[in-house]
Amino acid sequence: MKRTITFILYLLFIDILSATTFHIGTRYPIKSIKEAVRLSSGNDSIIIHKGTYRENNIVITHPIIVIGIGAPIIDGENKYELFIISSKNVFIKGLHFKNSGCSALNDYASIKIINSSNVSVIENQIDNAYFAIHVSNSNFCTIKNNIINGLRKQEQTTGNGIHLWKCSNFLIEGNAITNHRDGIYFEFVTDSRIQKNSSENNIRYGLHFMFSHNDEYYNNLFQNNGAGVAVMYSKNVMMKYNTFKYNWGASSYGLLLKDISDSYISSNIFSKNTVGIYMEGSNRININKSSFQENGWAIKVQSNCDENKFHDNNFYGNTFDVSTNGYSSPNKFYNNYWDKYEGYDMNKDGIGDVPYHPVSLYSRIIENTPGTLFLLKSFVILLLDTTEKSLPTLIPENLKDTRPLIKPLVI
């Protein structure tokens, strides 16, 4: 909304300042985008009409509005970059970028934004890019409703869909990213909001961020990515209403949290992942109102995690609910619904009277010797688990849900 208003204000100012509008196309005197950019000055507009433009390294250094009509194709012919923006107040909309270059030395991108502010990249389509949108050292930008589809190559020979480095106050919304290395990659990005994106079929991570504090992630969908979602070395992260699905593989996680602290993860869905949430060195995270369905392991908490709270979640059909490698657990579990809970509720207040131990003996055995997966669901394992449940000796005594719910929560 804010962006739209800014855009309208822009248009008003264009009239007031009598900025020029350049039309580019086969039926117009100017045939090349580079030419139009060279002729334009601050706050001019460039309207690109339908057609194919074989141009690259279009450098924009002053405020400008670039709008494509009928999705004009900008084809880089696999050489260099397409747009390089280094200015404030740039608006790019409705273009179809294709075939930017690929290089082992440079991070070639279809749209590269450097040292800029107030740049909007809206409703573009980007195909076969090395990096699709590469932003560094910028702030107050919007990347919205773009469709980004990479070439599914090897991890080393493809770049990230949306790559941000040292940025702040970004809005990344409604983008669909497929077949890149990392769908969305952040490093040193702060105070930004990422919402309603979908990141699927990427080679490595659907979302990958490091050292990115105070960011918010809402309503995103991450599925079928090589290694799921990995978030590291950040604090004050807010993740809500996201869906993590079908991340299968030996080192694949719905959500991998490494050294994340003081964060809030709520109302997410983790479905059919090898591991729903994997936590390492993460402290003071509140995980609630989430639903864990049919994962191999719903939650794996390493023993270096401290003071995390897991409450009001639903656990259904997971092979293992919780697994840990330590003998004590300083994390709290309460008010969750576990489908494997076998306790009773005498006073009918909806809360089970005996605590639930989500760590089974077998999950401990399998943690130490993964080869014992061979015995999954066998009679001997059933016996071992039952024995351990009635006389707990090996599983961490204090890792238990003290108030397990009898009926699943409506989330």
Partner 1 sequence: MNKTVKYVLYDIFRSRILIAYACLLFLISFSLMSFEENPSKGLMSLLNITLIVVPLISIIFGTIHFYNSNEFIELLLSQPFSRSSIFFSQYMSVSASLSCAFIIGMGIPIIIFSPGTIGTTLIITGLLLTMVFVSLAFLSSVFVRDKAMGIGFALLLWFLFSLIYDGLILMLIVSLSDYPIEKLTLILASFNPIDLGRIFVMLQMDVSAMMGYTGAVYKDFFGSSTGMIYTFLIMFLWILWPLLLANHRFNQKDL
Residues that bind partner 1 (CB under 8 A): 248-250, 252, 272-274, 294-297, 316-317, 319-320, 339, 365, 368-383
Chain-centre distance of CA 207, in angstroms?
Answer: 3
User: Min. distance of Cβ 301 from partner 1 in angstroms?
Assistant: 17
Nearer to partner 1, 92 or 275 (CB): 275
Buried b (16+ CB within 10 A) or exposed e, 379-399: eebeebbeebeeeeeebbeeb
User: Min. distance of Cβ 287 from partner 1 in angstroms?
Assistant: 19
Q: Give one word for 76, left, alpha or beta, with left for phi > 0 and alpha for psi -120 to 50.
A: alpha
Nearer to partner 1, 45 or 314 (CB): 314
Nearer to partner 1, 45 or 291 (CB): 291
Residue with tokens 């100017």: 30
Residue 226 sits at φ, ψ, to 5 deg, of -50, -45
User: Min. distance of Cβ 244 from partner 1 in angstroms?
Assistant: 12
Residue with tokens 């980007």: 126
User: Min. distance of Cβ 225 from partner 1 in angstroms?
Assistant: 14
Nearer to partner 1, 166 or 340 (CB): 340
Nearer to partner 1, 118 or 293 (CB): 293
Nearer to partner 1, 217 or 270 (CB): 270
User: Min. distance of Cβ 243 from partner 1 in angstroms?
Assistant: 16
User: Min. distance of Cβ 338 from partner 1 in angstroms?
Assistant: 13
Rounded CA gap, 151 and 221, in Å? 20
Angle at 177 between CA 233 and CA 242, to 5 degrees: 55
Rounded CA gap, 77 and 96, in Å? 13
Residue 348 sits at φ, ψ, to 5 deg, of 55, 40
First-to-last C-alpha distance (Å) of the chain? 29
